[in-house]
Copies of this chain bind each other. A is one copy, B any other.
Amino acid sequence: MEYTKKQMTIIEAAEKLFAEKGFEGASVRDIAHEANTNVSMISYYFGSKEKLMEAVFDRRMEGSRAQLEALYYDQSLTTFQKIYALIDAYVGKLTSQPYFNKIWMREQVESQSCVIADKIEGVRERNFAVINRIVKDGQELGEFKHEIDCSLMMALLIGTTNQVLNNAKHYRRKHDLEKMSDDDFRTHLKETLTSYLKTVFKALLTYEA
């Protein structure tokens, strides 16, 4: 374990407040209070507020690379199943990390910190590479059509998912799901969105306009 319990408490408090108020909006005093600790502990353990943000990012990003690689090399899955598994993985990850998802959205708009921007760029690059290889495989096997823009397809996957999750309230109201419990609604939204995206992707990968 890289971080102690105390450090993880601070990281989680920071994640929550960065998500709710933004990097500039959340003060180190807010974060320390949320983590039930002293202000100076942030500098003591992480060096600075910005380094703390980097720790928040690193914590959520480790492992996702290996997971993606494993998916690509999984022999038991067809190319179509790999794409579907990719959708499941994305929606699952964004759903299970709502705070971090908000931070990511905010920072990708225009990141102040070059370090963070580079991390985001790295993840984008790796994701694209995997999608690209899966799609190419599928095309060579004759399962997918020829004209597929992986950049736009990836943007559709991430953009739609984020938009839905950030406007979950709107969706809930429009579908009269307000009596449903929060947990049930989250599960329902996740399943609906996943199957929606799979339908869209099937069309994108096979339907000749």
Contacts and interface: CB of A to CB of B under 8 A. Distances in A.
A156 B155 CA distance: 10
Interface in A144-179: 149-152, 155-156, 158-164, 166-167, 170-171, 174-175
How many monomers of this chain does the complex have?
2
A21 B112 contact: yes
Contact of A204 (B159, B200, B209): B200
Interface string A178-209: 00000000000000110010011011100101
A202 B203 CA distance: 10
B109 A167 contact: no
A170 B108 CA distance: 12
Contacts of A110: 19-21, 102
Size class of the A contact interface (CB-based, 8 Å): 35 or more
Q: Is the interface of A mostly helix, strand, loop or mixed?
A: helix
A99 to B, nearest CB: 10
Contacts of A19: 110
Given A105-B109, A171-B151, A22 B21 contact: no
27 contacts: A21-B24, A21-B112, A22-B23, A22-B25, A22-B112, A23-B25, A24-B25, A105-B105, A106-B106, A108-B166, A124-B170, A128-B170, A151-B171, A152-B160, A152-B192, A152-B193, A155-B160, A155-B163, A156-B159, A156-B160, A159-B163, A159-B164, A160-B160, A200-B204, A203-B203, A203-B207, A207-B207
